[in-house]
Structure 1
């Protein structure tokens, strides 16, 4: 099991690094695709970092054209953060890459074995704490 987790993680980290992103930037980008219009406080809470760290992180993503901050009409002080189409494409590319990794890992198994594995893993994960929604 550890080897499988390691292989998935390593491939994910390599994919992110090849695109010049940090782990924190990639997590934030996924969060913004799933939660368009988040405020910086939401991002800080999700990432368990300070508002200053989030501001710096967002500046890097903005420079690359992956996110944008927009002010709310009637409230110039409140800025909402959105993934740009380029940011959304990057997240979709990561999902595609991770699906390919999963296919490579599962390649030795036929469909019946894959179904059995998924059933067993679902049984195991049913009793595990659920991750926080990113």
Structure 2
């Protein structure tokens, strides 16, 4: 829930603004490639885990197998992924990002690093170190969302 604009500034409100800028940069990068967030996530997962099965993709993307199936159909239509039968067994399909799919998402890490650098540009190196130390202190006792 957003706070009314007349309330005093708070560190957590500032962190929300920073997070929003990061999210927006990521969304713009994805949109420029004609992908949805889910499609970009699946492509990234497949680039890092070639030959994944649909159930593993669903687990990694924290969604259902049915949803992943729809995402894969869209990516297949654009020839960004392909499904292959494993050892001729039609019940067991492995999913691979194609060269075109890998090329489409290449540079994401660099783009996000550039966005982070833009956000942190007003700070000196010393201020960045202090900010990092303070954030480390705050997050030390919080669960990592990547562990969920």
Distance change >3 Å, CA 49–CA 126, structure 1 → 2: same
The alignment's C-alpha RMSD in Å is: 2.1
TM-score of the pair, normalised by structure 1:
0.84
Cα distance in 2 for residues equivalent to 1:121 and 1:49: 30
Cα distance, 1:74 vs. partner?
A: 4.7
Mark the structure with the bigger radius of gyration.
Answer: 2
For 1:1-134, list aligned pairs within 5 A: 1-132=15-146
TM-score of the pair, normalised by structure 2:
0.77
Where in structure 1 are there 5+ consecutive unaligned residues?
none
Cα distance in 1 for residues equivalent to 2:126 and 2:104: 33
Larger relative contact order (CA 8 Å, sep ≥ 6): 1
In the alignment of these two chains, the number of paired residues is 134
Where in structure 2 are there 5+ consecutive unaligned residues?
1-14
